[in-house]
Structure 1
Amino acid sequence: MSVFSDDEIENSHAEVLAAITLNQLVRPGAPICYGTFTSNVGMKSGAPALGTPTHFQASLAAGQLARFIGLPWRSAAGSASNLNDVQAANENQMGLWGCLMAGASVIIHSAGWLESGLTISYEKLITDVEVLNMIAELCAGNNASVDEIGFEAAISEVNPSGHFFSTSHTMARYDTAFYEPVVHDYANFGTWTERGASDVNTRATAIWKGILAADNRPDIDEAKVEALHPFIDIRTADGGALPES
């Protein structure tokens, strides 16, 4: 790890310990999570650079420090890209895997971030959720029971030079056995072209617009929402950032 990154880790750890101390002085015994999100900046621009090898290394170090003091750890992914492109995907996954390998308890900013958090992309939100779903599927593991292996229901049915597509075992599981993508397209080039050759951003746009059009919001207790408004007004009068209009 570079000297620059070491300095950042030391500063970050000191800030976390100070915040934890202040929290416990105000409310002793309050549950708390070690929260840090450290990366480097682009040395040519001074802009934050997320999803870099240094970001990955910093996550590994922060995870070790969190475990050293026995606390759960909150970290984050993110991207410095300006578009939902290959750079954005690579950087977000680099940051995400750094958090996972470091044992993060909670990972925020793992979907939608561009420009190191200055911009949110609905398309990137959709494509990042795809990756999160795939990682969740990976971490869930696989079932290797007798039924899943399917020797009697599959292997014994297939003669030499045969295939498994039409076995009863396959037919009973073909629509549930594998991960079903949200926005990725697994069709070959010919089929993809016949369908209009839409790229992932085009497909992601259609998905988020469909979500907004469907407007399937969770049930909300309007009385509780109304009760929050006086509290918001008081805190707004106290100062700080104004709420969005």
Structure 2
Amino acid sequence: VVQLNAEALSALAYTQVIRKGAPAIYGHYLSTVSMKSGAPMAGTPEISLMNFLIGQMARFYDVPWRTSGGLGGAKTFDAQAGYESAATLSAVIHAGANYIWHAAGWNEAGMHCSVAKFIVDAEQCAMAYRMAEGPRWDDFDEALAAVRDVGPGGHYLGHPHTQENFQRAFFMPEMFDNNSIEQWKAEGEIEITERALKQARKLLSEYEEPKLDAAKNEALLDYIARREREIPAADALNQEF
């Protein structure tokens, strides 16, 4: 953590030397190493402990903090992948990270990306974001009024407050299955990897490339060509120096 802090501060200081007042972010990447093989590891408790410390340092310097979450060393999208990624993502959320990279699809300590895991991780990130928002108090008075309306022995499912707020009251995941086991069996006993891959194929089949205005595209290509003519080649620069 001391080394990471020194590296981050040196980079922050350098940006201010080049351009005083330039916006900057306190960033790092860290991992642990297997003492048995020397292989990089992800998802270990020490990573989370270091992130808690680094989060405190970022707040001490009063700068936004970039880190990594959703890490893991599993080779497939299995229980290990889920446990490790959930642990590391939860840690950086609780540590107060402002900007999180490497939060979806990460496997084998970053050596490959799992498409199925990417889809599920994206939903996990949405849940983490919801948790980071904290409790919502904007409808507190209406909620208390509903308690009085329902009274002892009643239920809230049909109350107007429930009908108006149920979609945002609890996060409703699409990839994570919360149905009864009977319903899950009736729908084909589809496990999460298969559901995620099906969703990935659906997204790919429906993808439409964002269109760039033809005039802007032409202007960008012209700028690239002009700068290629204006900027000396690397060999010429080396000879000059």
1:30 has 2:25 as partner: no
Paired with 1:31 and 1:172, the residues of 2 have a C-alpha distance of: 41
Paired with 1:32 and 1:83, the residues of 2 have a C-alpha distance of: 36
- Of residues 37, 43, 49 in structure 2, which corresponds to 1:57? 49
1:33-44 aligned at under 5 Å gives the runs: 33-44=25-36
Q: Contact 2:72–2:107 (CA<8 Å) still a contact in 1?
A: yes
Structure 1 residue 59, shift from structure 2 partner:
0.6
Structure 1 residue 55, shift from structure 2 partner:
0.4
The one-letter code sitting in structure 2 at the alignment partner of 1:129 is: A
| 2:113 aligned residue | 120
Structure 1 residue 194, shift from structure 2 partner:
1.0
| 2:136 aligned residue | 142
1:11 has 2:3 as partner: yes
Structure 2 gap segments, 5+ residues each: 236-241
- Of residues 66, 89, 97 in structure 2, which corresponds to 1:74? 66
Structure 1 residue 172, shift from structure 2 partner:
4.7
Paired with 2:184 and 2:178, the residues of 1 have a C-alpha distance of: 9
After superposition, give the CA deviation of every residue in 1:155-194 in whole Å (9 maximum; x if it has no partner).
14xx73x544444554455455432212111111111011
Distance 1:176 1:96, change over 3 A: closer
The one-letter code sitting in structure 1 at the alignment partner of 2:224 is: P
After superposition, give the CA deviation of every residue in 1:130-164 in whole Å (9 maximum; x if it has no partner).
111112222332345232345378514xx73x544
Q: Contact 1:153–1:169 (CA<8 Å) still a contact in 2?
A: no
1:93 has 2:86 as partner: yes
Distance 1:238 1:11, change over 3 A: farther
The two structures have a TM-score, normalised by structure 1, of: 0.79
Runs of 4+ in 1 over 6 A off after TM superposition: none
| 1:186 aligned residue | 178
Distance 1:33 1:188, change over 3 A: same
Distance 1:152 1:11, change over 3 A: closer
1:108 has 2:101 as partner: yes
- Of residues 150, 158, 171 in structure 2, which corresponds to 1:155? 150
Structure 1 residue 217, shift from structure 2 partner:
4.2
Whose helix fraction is larger, Structure 1's or Structure 2's? 2
Paired with 2:234 and 2:150, the residues of 1 have a C-alpha distance of: 71
Query: How many residues are aligned here?
Result: 226
The one-letter code sitting in structure 2 at the alignment partner of 1:151 is: A
Q: What is the DSSP-based 3-state SS (H/G/I as helix, E as strand, rest coil) of the residue aligned with 1:151?
A: helix
- Of residues 125, 130, 139 in structure 2, which corresponds to 1:132? 125
Paired with 1:175 and 1:70, the residues of 2 have a C-alpha distance of: 36
The one-letter code sitting in structure 2 at the alignment partner of 1:83 is: T
- Of residues 191, 195, 200 in structure 2, which corresponds to 1:199? 191
The two structures have a TM-score, normalised by structure 2, of: 0.80
> 171-180 or 70-79, which moves further after superposition?
171-180
Paired with 1:221 and 1:52, the residues of 2 have a C-alpha distance of: 47
